[in-house]
Amino acid sequence: METKDIAQKIAAAANDKKAKDILLLNMEGLSPVTDFYVICSAGNSTLVKAIADNIEDKLAEAGVHPTHKEGYADARWVLLDYGDVVAHVFLEEERDFYNLEQLWADAPSESFVENTDD
């Protein structure tokens, strides 16, 4: 599966659980760590966990598993590291505080748009 496809699958899984403001940042050439960040928000910690769980489940169905998971117990900012793609699921106030979009303002970005052609 291509890196962009993994990023899109993460975004779609987050969208399935009503994540807000889903953003894909193309980190190719900007970060030696990863090619894409997928960033999204949730209004409460229960929803943060539900989004993270759905991302893991949907990617596992495609045979893709995270190499690292962080922040799940507190559910304020869950990071799922898939190597070339890293998913960040934030509580809204945590996302505002850390502001990764501003930190990586040089990265080309696109908002997730649900494909309704199915």
Contact predicate 38/10, CB 8 Å? yes
DSSP H helical ranges for 1-118: 3-16, 45-61, 92-98, 100-103
CATH number for the domain that contains residue 75:
3.30.460.10
Asked whether residue 113 is domain-assigned, the answer is no
Tens of pLDDT along 25-38?
A: 999 999 999 999 99
**Residue 115 maps to a domain:** no
The mean per-residue pLDDT over the stretch 19-27 comes to 97
> How are strands ordered across the β-sheet holding 68-70?
68-70, 77-81, 85-91, 36-42, 20-26, 109-111
- pLDDT per residue as tens digits for the range 84-98: 999 999 999 999 999
Q: Is residue 49 part of a domain?
A: yes
16/111 Cα distance (integer angstroms): 15
Count: domains in the chain: 1
Asked whether residue 70 is assigned to any structural domain, the reply reads: yes
Range of the structural domain that residue 18 is part of: 3-105
DSSP-derived 3-state class of residue 32 = coil
